[in-house]
Every structure is written in structure tokens, then in C-alpha cells.
Chains A and B, each alone.
Chain A
Amino acid sequence: MTDLLERSTAVDKKPSWLRRHSPPYWLSLVGGGWMLLFFLIPLVSGLIVSLETGNPISGYTLTWNWHIYSQLFVHSDIPYSTFLLRSLYYGVATTILSILIAYPMAYFIAFRVSVRWKSPLILLVLLSFFVSFVIRTDMWSFVLAQQGFVLTGLRKLHLVSANFHILGTSNAVIGGDIYNNLPFMVLPIYVALERIDRRILEAARDLYSNGRQVFLRVVLPLSRAGIFAGVLLVFITTVGDPVNSSLLGGVGTYTIGQAIQDSYLTNQQFNVAAALSTVLMVILGIIMFAYAKIFGTENLENLV
């Protein structure tokens, strides 16, 4: 009996489990709070609003209206599932093309330019951010217009037919997406390339690699952290974007971002807007989770 009591007090005298193991939990509090505040709560409240029925005048009440999801994505006059697929397609196309454009840019700045010119060139990459996003995009619709100088010039040279147009097509939207997101791809790739130890490249050459092999076997694998980060930044922003498709698009370029905006602001169907955003968030979450599982998050850790 006394033996038992002694043993239990002995346990208490040891540094408690809490004291030994709590620091990591305390440290994760900020990050966890961030996730809770800006990810979990919005997601859950979005889900709840999507299950409500009513209207803005008399209010919305929770009726667990799960039907809304089948109403919107299966039996709807408005093809929301098409908008979703279209947005994902724009996202994928933009991401791939951004990599193809941004990688040579970043490579050039990181490897082929003297130190003196690096900062000015990076500044040039960022220069477009000095002007508001919407105005930048709207200026493209001015430049690419039917009577704008680009198409007028091309028509005079007989390079395009009189009916050729750029605005109002999916390509115009993807072009705008690439233009607006390019710095998000260039910068992480540049950082990754810049961190590569130049002696490794010399070593590869000493071991009889030709230029192509050095790039494919050494530079590219070492810079994949940058590509990984760039893909996250570009893909997520593009899929939800309503601006490029409304300013540069036309008939048949309506995206899920526009649908969410219009159903919230114009139609005041808060439940529809919430349902669409919830589906978008969940699908993006799944894609990103799979992406991170396949390519590994240690890629990101290498970058910082």
C-alpha cells in the first residue's frame, strides 16, 4: 500500500511529460492558429453556408441541403462542372507554359549574367507588379484589340486573315494568366538555381559530361525545389482567378472564379457561391496533397 503511494509520488517528481514534450506543441501554436483561422474555419463555415437555404432578404437558415451539390454539378442549366474543368485546364496550361518560359529566364539570370546585372534584371521581372493587376490585364485587351497596333500590323503584313482575333479566346485568357503569374515562377526557380554550388558543375564537366548532360543530370534535379514552389504559386492562383477570363475572355471562357463572384455579388445566392468555393477548395486541396505526396515536400525545405 505505502509502496504504491511512494511509487506514484515518485512518478510526479520526474520532469512531467508535459514539460518535456510540450515545447514543439507550443511552437506549432502560431502555425496551427494560422491554419485554423485562415484555412479550417473558412472551409468549414463555407461548407455550412453552402448547406443553408434562403435568400438575402429574409435570411439563410441551415437546412442541411446537401442536394445543392447535385443541383449545381449534375442537374443544372448552368454548366458549373464545365467551368470547373475549364479553370483546371487553364491552371495546368498556364503552369506548364510558365515553367517553359520562366526556366530559361531564371537560368539566364542565375548563370549567364554578371553579378552587376542580376539585381536590375530581377527588378525588371518584378516591374510589372508596380502597376495594379487589373489595369495591367486591361491594357492587354487594348494592345491585342482588333484595331490595336499588334493585329493591325500583322494584317498589313498579311500574316493573319482579316477575321483573326486573339481577345475572347481561351488562348487570350491563358496568355493573361501566364503574364500575370510569371514572376511567381521565375523567382523561386532563380533562387534554386542561384544556390547551386558552381563547383558541382565544374566537377560534372571534369567527369566528361557535356553541356546537355550537366543540365539534365545536375542543374535540373538541383533546381526542382524552385519548380515545385513555382507550380504551387502559379497553379493555385490561376485556377481561382476571375479577372483574366472576364477581361480577356469572351463567350466560352467563363471560369469557376467568375461563377463564384457572380453568384455572390450579382445573384446574391450565398449558398451557391459557398458550395462552388467549397468544391474548388476541396479539389485544389486534393490535387495539391497528391502533388506534394508524389514530389515530396522536402523540395520546399531545400529552398529555404
Chain B
Amino acid sequence: MNIDPALWRGLTQRRMPRRVLMSAAGKGFGLLSVAALLASCGIAGTLDHQGAQVDWAAFWKGQKKTNQLNFANWPLYIDSEHGKTESLELFTKMTGIKVNYQPVIQADASFYATVEPELAAQEVTGYDIMVITNGWYFTQLVNNGFLIELDQSKLPNFAKYASSLVKDPSYDPGNKHSVTWQTGFTGIAYNTKMITREITSFNDLADPAFKGHVGMMNDNVELGSAALLRMGVDPVTSTPKQWRESTQWLKKQRPLVSGYYDQSYISHLENGDTWISQAYSGDIFQANLSGYPHLKYVTPKEGQIVWHDNMVIPRQSQNPLSALSWMNFYYTPKIAGIVEDWVSYVCPVPEAQQYILDVIKDPTVANSPLVFPSTESAKLSHGYYIYRDYDEYQTWNDVFNPIIES
């Protein structure tokens, strides 16, 4: 056998310096991993294409009764006396359904972010009822097919007792996916110790006399809706052109604003940091009872925003019948009254007023126009704009975020 020594050497001896070899291996490995990353990259959307094909009548027919209900709600949003919740106990007594009540929702955005991956993967979230505000996250839940359509035949109490404010709302026609838990108004609140004159209009939020003591909301839906109402535009029917116009006032008002606040706006009002602020009616009602009687809620003459926190059933709920029977149970003057007497936002059952007055004997709540609004204030109420798709939501953000974020 006659092999060229050079070839032999090439076959048996190492010729590549180690450093080069290592770096080449490293690069190869790096490229491989980058390629793997790229192959797996891209984030799947949440849009569900099967949602439309579900036969909900058959779905409900196929359901069997269970004795469990997992209820996700916001903190301090149900009656509570010494750690006991009467409304839930009555429900358990009547139906035998045990309720696992979890006040885990701090905000729509963060709660949606925690359940969305499971909903998108069609996995069990562990909740049978979630309470979601009508708005972008509610719209997403509906559009993505993440919600079970309600069987209206099992909700006779809703048909009988629900107020016209919560029946057939524009964000969920025919209450197909939701029934309201609580309603609230967003208007203006002010400190009567600091401001002696009458406050009547959104324009009062831009009074130079209150410079540095004006609070606005950092929720851009609330902020934008207020600006639209001030212009005399109903947010529900507004157009992107009007959104842009409305920001002129917000920009002009900005130097007077002490901050764009989240839920902390209420402590700023109570502390006296802000004298006048955008505010939720229920918070002001609570504040009046807990040592801040000098705060006053006003419905601006241009109108106020009405929003609804809604009970919905996620698609992979394990106990949908329990959820429905709770919804139906809640919509009675008695149960809604028990809850309302404690929560005191706006009650979705008008007849609960009589129950609170006669049985619970709490005229403060029963006679408050903030809990049981007059027809005039209901007439002055307008909903949020309902985004048809993400692009509209994006446009709204692009218009109003520059006001808040700076």
C-alpha cells in the first residue's frame, strides 16, 4: 500500500488549531440554536376559528349538574360580614353547590394576561365565572371564542328583574355571553373643602385655579371618553377623527394635571393631593361613608360614562350549569340587595332597593342616587366605544397614550 505521507499525516494528525476548531463549533452551535429559535418564533394569535360552529343548544343539553362553582371576582366586590358571605351561603344552602370564591382579579389587563394562554390552548382555567369589565378585554374574550354562550332559558330571573341599563347592552347584544354583576358611573368628584363653587362640567377639570390638583385616569378609555363627552360626542358612535380632535383639550389641560392615576386616584382625592378628579361613583359613595363626607360625585352636564362588570363563563368551564344557576340566583331582589348593601356600586336589579329599605333597613344605600340612579342620570350615561378589532384599539391607543405617557 502506497499512501502519500502528506495525506497520511492529514488523516491522522490534528491540523486545525484548537481555538479555531472551538470557535467554529461554537458558531455552528450558535447558528443551529438561532435557526431553531427562528423556526419556533412568531407568536401564535388567539383567534379561534371553531367558535362559530359550536351548537350551544346541544352543548347545554349535554351538561350534567355538578356541585362545585369556582368564582373569580375583584377584591371587596361581594358582601362580607366577619369573613362570611351571606349571599354565597344562601346559594349553597339552596342548591347544594359549594362555591370556591376567589377575589383574584386586580385589573382586566393583568387578569386577561394570566388566563389567556390557557384559554387559547383550550385548557381548563379553573374558573367557572369570571367578572370582566366591558371593554377591549371583554371584546377579545368574545371575538376569540373564549366564552360559553348563555342558555337564556335557564335565566328567568334575569329576564324578570334586570334593569334596562344592563339588558341587551351594545357590547354584548342579547346578553349572549354575559350578565352584569355591577354597574358603575365615571364622572367627576371634588373636594368641597377646597373647592367652594359648584362643579357641573368637564371643563371644570381644566380650570387654572386648580392647577396641580387635578386628577385624571391613566386608563386611556376613561380619559378619551371624558374628552369625547366634553366635546358633546357620544363615545359609542365616535370616529377616529373625533378622537384626535378631543386630544386638543387634553393637551391643553395637561399642565394643570397632577397625575394620571390608576385606582389610586381615590386615595389622592382622600389625601387632598387632588381637589377635583375623574372618579367612579361607587368609590365616592364608599369614601363618603368611611370618613370623607366632603367628597362629592357629580354627573357632568355633558354626560357620564357607564360601564359594566360582567359575569362570563370561560369556554373550558367544568361547572357551567352551576355558573348559570348562580347567575339566575343573583338576579333576585333579595340576593342582589344583600350584595348591593355591601358593595354599593350601581345595582343591576332595581327592585333590590325596596328589599334594602324594608328588610335590611339601610336607607343610606337604598336612597342613594349613586346606587339606584334616577332615570335622568341614566339618560345622561353613555357607554365606551366598542372596538371592532385590534387595529381600532391600536388607533385609540396611538391617539390617547401620548397624553398619559410623557
Q: Mark A residues whose CB is within 8 Å of B.
A: 1, 4-5, 8, 11, 17, 44-45, 48-49, 52, 54-62, 77-79, 82-83, 138, 141-142, 145-148, 163, 165, 167-168, 246-247, 249-252, 254, 258-259, 262, 265-270
Contact = CB atoms under 8 A, between A and B. Distances in A.
Contact of A45 (B9, B37, B220, B273): B37
21 contacts: A1-B5, A4-B9, A8-B13, A11-B13, A45-B37, A48-B37, A49-B41, A52-B41, A54-B45, A57-B46, A59-B47, A60-B42, A62-B41, A141-B271, A168-B258, A246-B262, A249-B259, A251-B406, A265-B113, A266-B109, A269-B397
Given A142-B267, A265-B109, A266-B109, A54 B405 contact: no
B260 interface: yes
Contacts of B47: 57-59
A296 B9 CA distance: 46
Interface string B382-402: 000000011100100110011
Contacts of A4: 5, 8-9, 12
Contacts of B3: 1
Interface of B: 3, 5, 8-9, 12-13, 18, 34, 37-38, 41-47, 109-110, 113, 140, 143-144, 212, 220, 254, 257-260, 262, 264, 267-268, 271-273, 389-391, 394, 397-398, 401-402, 404-406
Nearest to A148: B271
A6 B283 CA distance: 91
The 8 closest A-B pairs by CB, nearest first: A59-B45, A145-B271, A147-B272, A250-B259, A60-B43, A55-B390, A58-B45, A146-B272
B401 A168 contact: no
A56 B13 contact: no
Contacts of B390: 55-58, 268
A4 B404 CA distance: 78
Contacts of A83: 405
A115 to B, nearest CB: 44
Nearest to B402: A77
A141 B267 contact: yes
A288 to B, nearest CB: 23
B38 A57 contact: no
Q: Which of B34, B44, B391 has the most CB of A within 10 A?
A: B44
Contacts of A146: 271-273
B43 A54 contact: yes
B279 to A, nearest CB: 17
A167 B41 contact: no
Contact of A254 (B18, B273, B389, B405): B405
Given A57-B144, A57-B390, A148-B271, A251 B46 contact: no
A54 to B, nearest CB: 7
A252 B113 CA distance: 28
A191 B71 CA distance: 50
Given A60-B43, A78-B402, A145 B272 contact: yes
B167 to A, nearest CB: 28
Given A56-B390, A57-B140, A267-B401, A45 B41 contact: yes
B203 to A, nearest CB: 19
Nearest to B214: A251
B110 A265 contact: yes
A132 to B, nearest CB: 14
B406 A78 contact: yes
Nearest to A169: B258
A163 B46 contact: no
B300 to A, nearest CB: 22
Contacts of B401: 77-78, 262, 267
Contacts of A79: 406
A165 B37 contact: no
B214 to A, nearest CB: 10
Contacts of B42: 52, 59-62
Nearest to A252: B406
A39 B402 CA distance: 32
Q: Which of B38, B273, B391 has the most CB of A within 10 A?
A: B273
A286 B12 CA distance: 45
Nearest to B144: A57
B362 to A, nearest CB: 29
Contacts of A247: 264
A100 B212 CA distance: 32
Contacts of B143: 57
Contact of A57 (B5, B389, B406): B389
Contacts of B12: 4-5, 8
A49 B258 contact: no
A165 B214 CA distance: 13
A257 to B, nearest CB: 12
B37 A57 contact: no
A246 to B, nearest CB: 7
A259 B405 contact: yes
A147 B273 CA distance: 7
Contacts of B406: 78-79, 82, 251-252, 254
A61 B264 CA distance: 37
Contacts of B44: 59
A55 to B, nearest CB: 4
A44 B37 CA distance: 9
B217 to A, nearest CB: 12
Contacts of B110: 265
B271 A251 contact: no
A45 B43 CA distance: 11
Nearest to B397: A267
A175 B262 CA distance: 21
Contacts of B268: 141, 145, 167
Contact of B34 (A44, A77, A167): A44
